Amino acid sequence: MILVYLCEWPLAALNTKGESSIPESKEVLELGLNFAPTPKRVPVIDILAGVEVATRRAKLQVEVSEELRARICSVIKNTKVRQNNMKPSQHQAIASLKRNDTIVIVKADKGNATVVLDKSDYMDKCYMLLQPPTYKKLKKDPTQVVKKRITDLLKDLKAAKHINMAMFNKLKPTNCFAPKFYGLPKVHKPEFPLRPIVSAITSPTFSLSKFIASIISPLAGKTNSYVKNSSHFKLMISEETIGFDEIMVSFDVKSLFTNVPLPEALDVIKDKLGEDENLDDRTTLNAEQITNLLEVCLRTTYFVFNKEYYEQQNGAAMGSPVSPIVANLFMEHFEETSLDTRFRFWKRYVDDIFCIIKSEFLDESLLFLNSLFPSIQLTSEVEKNGSLPFLDVLVSRFDDGTMKTSVHRKSTHTDRYISYNSNHAPHVKKGIVKCLVRRAYNLSSESSLKNEIDHVRSVLSMNGYPRSLVDKVKNELKKKKKQVDTTTLNEDPVATAIIPYVSTMSERIRKILWDYGIRTSFKTKTTLSNLLTKVKDPTSNENKLGAVYKIMCECGDFYIGESGRALGIRIKEHKSACEHGYFTKSPLAEHVWQEGSHVINWNEVKLLDISQGMVERKVKEAIYINMSPNNLTMNRDSGMELSPLVLRAARGHSHK
């Protein structure tokens, strides 16, 4: 079991700064990148803001809200947060790893391993992928052009009354920037080649792609070949038998997304949409319009890597929500038009295929499959010693023709899960136990179940979990099967508070909130991955959405504001107001003009906080204004009106 793969050079690099020793750095990395260190300070503002948003949403009576706030503030004031799940030397190791810009720390493609690579080696590997003819380098960022193209298309549809105003606003691109490219090392292959990944959530096509995905996804998954997941496959294979003259083989489509032939795929989808009698229930658009929008999403394949822009030349856009569905639909077409009875038991999960065929046909089968579409090429793997893995299942055949299953783990799997010691809410950790136990039951034949449960027990113990937890979860799962779920009959919450997890304190807060019918959902803000993995091009402060910010004047006065749009756009507005003396548009303008010739420090705008929710952001803005010395803020008011209790709790903690 290898937890951390250190390439030769980074091992030395971990020590170059002379600040941390290799053992400590390794110790930290071995915790796994999803490990959450306990925060040094209790994130009081996040807790107060999360509770405040939920309290307002719950629409409680004024006195009741105030009582709730008083109880929460008392918990914040009186709970001693003692725990720290890392040693000081480990905190130092994190800091020095964070500063070390000669290495790249990233999770492996599969198996929860952490990989440390020499930065220039990582960059070389990325550039090796980004070669023609698969990719083409672009002269500049096409985001604005794409944005305009999509907005125009949607405007036309709105003008022709095919979509309404609400739908137009939902789909139109706002606040977008270029998708980001990065690579994850495949540690099960020699020399660790990278798997290319594109993070497209900020792409101008993202909202549109999600919408189109919801329209076309019901078209897929209706074939015999369709495999939903590993459990589904286990159920199918358990009922199957295999003849003595037959053999198990798996096929893998090489880089399916970048090789899907789009013209064929789009034709297939247009036809299927045309035949779909229920299409009207899902959308007001017709098959042709949907296919046109889909094509725009699929063909918007650009991304940024190391400040340069590239475009993928063929296939479906990586990272787009429509791409897996289009790949699936194309493969269904491939199966319908090409497969014959020789491929007896053909089951497919996106680009992974499990098949039973006559042994004599084995050699020609791959040649045949690869002759069908030039861009669709498969590789094959044949059973070894009567066993073949598929997804998370290992299938074994027996002389009597029956097939049994057990859980399959790649040899590179680390058996590393979120450590019991990590600053995650208890139910997250219990969820991991549940998932592993359930997987053991779902994927194992009776004969292999005991082994698998034993394995789960020892793996969890290695990750710090108490042994009793496995049995507790096992019993709960058994009970659940018998009972018809009565637990879900609980009353519905009136609102949900999303707050960071702080051991002891957060649990007390949850109990109080539930007295008022408010459910609590814990979020884990900082993990080692957030701290140490820097493979995506960083989002500049200018592009950050949902900022609470502070703009300083040279005299020491400052202005605190918030914006749901990109911070750069809001700053530009302040700047312009200052230049033109528009007092009403920015208190900064008033300050600059009334004080004579004060200079605003535009280059050092401070990011105080980030919140995507508007109410949460306004609550935080008000807290920050109120925590600032009155005589220094240019703000004309204190923002959203907050209870003095909340402000006192925030102030009380800022001095600690």
Ramachandran angles phi, psi of 177, nearest 5°: -145, 175
Q: How far is the CB of 590 from Zn ion (least distance, A)?
A: 11
The token pair at 47 is: 């807790």
Burial of residue 479, with CB atoms counted within 10 A of its CB: 0-12 exposed, 13-18 middle, 19 or more buried: exposed
Contact predicate 322/290, CB 8 Å = no
In this chain, which of 555, 569, 607, 614 binds Zn ion, going by CB under 5 A? 555
Residue pair 173/151 in contact by the 8 Å Cβ criterion: yes
For residue 548, the minimal CB distance to Zn ion (Å) is 21
With CB under 5 A as the contact rule, which of the stretches 342-350, 447-455, 504-512, 595-603 interacts with Zn ion? 595-603
| Cβ-contact 475, 498 below 8 angstroms | no
Among the candidate windows 12-20, 51-59, 153-161, 593-601, which touches Zn ion by CB under 5 A? 593-601
Stretch that binds Zn ion, among 8-16, 241-249, 494-502, 597-605 (CB under 5 A): 597-605
- DSSP string covering 317-333: PTT-TTHHHHHHHHHHH
The 3-state DSSP class for residue 52 equals helix
**What would the x/- binding string for Zn ion be over residues 322 to 351, using CB under 5 A?**
------------------------------
Q: Which of 91, 170, 508, 598 binds Zn ion (CB under 5 A)?
A: 598
Bond before 133 cis per omega within 30 degrees: yes
Minimal distance in Å, beta carbon 554 to Zn ion?
Answer: 6
Give min distance, CB of 555 to Zn ion, in A. Answer: 3
Measured from the CB atom, the residue of 373 and 593 that comes closer to Zn ion is 593
Per CB under 5 A, the segment of 224-232, 268-276, 553-561, 602-610 that binds Zn ion is 553-561
Nearest approach in angstroms of CB 605 to Zn ion is 15
- Give the DSSP H or E segment for 499: strand 495-500
The dihedral through the CA atoms of 592, 595, 597, 601 has a sign that is negative
Beta carbons of 445 and 396 less than 8 angstroms apart:
no
- The least distance separating Zn ion from the CB of residue 600, rounded to whole angstroms, comes to 8
Number of shown-chain residues binding Zn ion (CB under 5 A): 4
Report the candidate in 200, 325, 314, 340 with the shortest Cα–Cα distance to residue 272: 325
- Residue 235 or residue 555: which is nearer to Zn ion going by CB? 555
Residue 606 binds Zn ion (CB under 5 A): no
Question: What gap in Å lies between CA 17 and CA 249, rounded to an integer?
Answer: 51
Instruction: Considering the complex, state which of residue 177 and residue 558 has its C-beta at the smaller distance from Zn ion.
Output: 558
Write down the least CB distance from residue 628 to Zn ion, Å. Answer: 15
Ranges of beta strands (E only) in 95-223 are 103-107, 114-118, 135-138, 180-185, 194-199
Q: Is 235 in the site for Zn ion (CB under 5 A)?
A: no
Segment lying near Zn ion (by CB under 5 A), choices 174-182, 196-204, 535-543, 594-602: 594-602
Min dist CB 558 to Zn ion, Å, is 9
Which of the ranges 159-167, 341-349, 401-409, 556-564 carries the binding residues for Zn ion, by CB under 5 A? 556-564
The least CB distance from residue 607 to Zn ion, in Å, is 21
Nearer to Zn ion, 50 or 587 (CB): 587
Smallest distance, Zn ion to C-beta of residue 592, A: 7
Does 551 interact with Zn ion (rule: CB under 5 A)?
A: no
Stretch of residues binding Zn ion (CB under 5 A), selected from 198-206, 329-337, 425-433, 548-556 = 548-556
The interface mask with Zn ion, positions 462-501, x = CB under 5 A, is ----------------------------------------
Kind of pairing between the strands at 558-566 and 246-253: unpaired
Give min distance, CB of 581 to Zn ion, in A: 15
Nearer to Zn ion, 168 or 582 (CB): 582
Nearer to Zn ion, 574 or 618 (CB): 574
Looking at beta carbons only, is 486 or 603 nearer to Zn ion?
603
Residue 598 near residue 554 (C-beta atoms within 8 A):
yes
Cβ at position 580, least distance to Zn ion in Å = 18
Decide: is 599 part of the binding site for Zn ion (CB under 5 A): no
Distance CA 627, CA 550 (A): 13
**Residues 311/301, Cβ–Cβ less than 8 Å:** yes
Between 265 and 571, CB nearer to Zn ion: 571
3-state secondary structure of 209: helix
Output 116 or 553, the one with its CB closest to Zn ion. Answer: 553
**528 neighbors 503 (Cβ within 8 angstroms):** no
Q: Strands 308-312, 135-138: parallel, antiparallel or unpaired by DSSP? A: antiparallel
Does residue 553 bind Zn ion (CB under 5 A)? yes
388: which strand partners? 395
Q: Name the segment binding Zn ion (CB under 5 A); options: 83-91, 434-442, 480-488, 598-606.
A: 598-606
The DSSP bridge partners found for residue 43 are none
Nearer to Zn ion, 75 or 634 (CB): 634
- Please tell me the total number of residues recorded for the chain in this structure: 656
Which CB sits closer to Zn ion, 486 or 597? 597
HSE-up of residue 15 (Cα within 13 Å, Cβ side): 10
Ranges within 251-310 binding Zn ion (CB under 5 A): none
Q: Is 210 in the site for Zn ion (CB under 5 A)?
A: no
CB atoms within 10 A of CB 31: 25
User: Can you read off the two tokens belonging to residue 158?
Assistant: 């709105």
What contacts 388, CB < 8 A, 6 or more positions away?
248, 249, 250, 354, 381, 382, 394, 395
Site string for Zn ion, 391-430 (x = CB under 5 A): ----------------------------------------
**Residue 614 lies near Zn ion (rule: CB under 5 A):** no
Q: Does 535 bind Zn ion (CB under 5 A)?
A: no
In sequence order, which residues have a C-beta less than 8 Å from that of residue 640 and are 6 or more positions away?
A: 618, 619, 621, 622
Phi, psi of 486 (to 5 degrees): -95, -15
Residue 14 vs 605, nearer CB to Zn ion: 605
What is the phi/psi pair of residue 352, to 5°? -105, 130
Residues that bind Zn ion (CB under 5 A): 553, 555, 557, 598
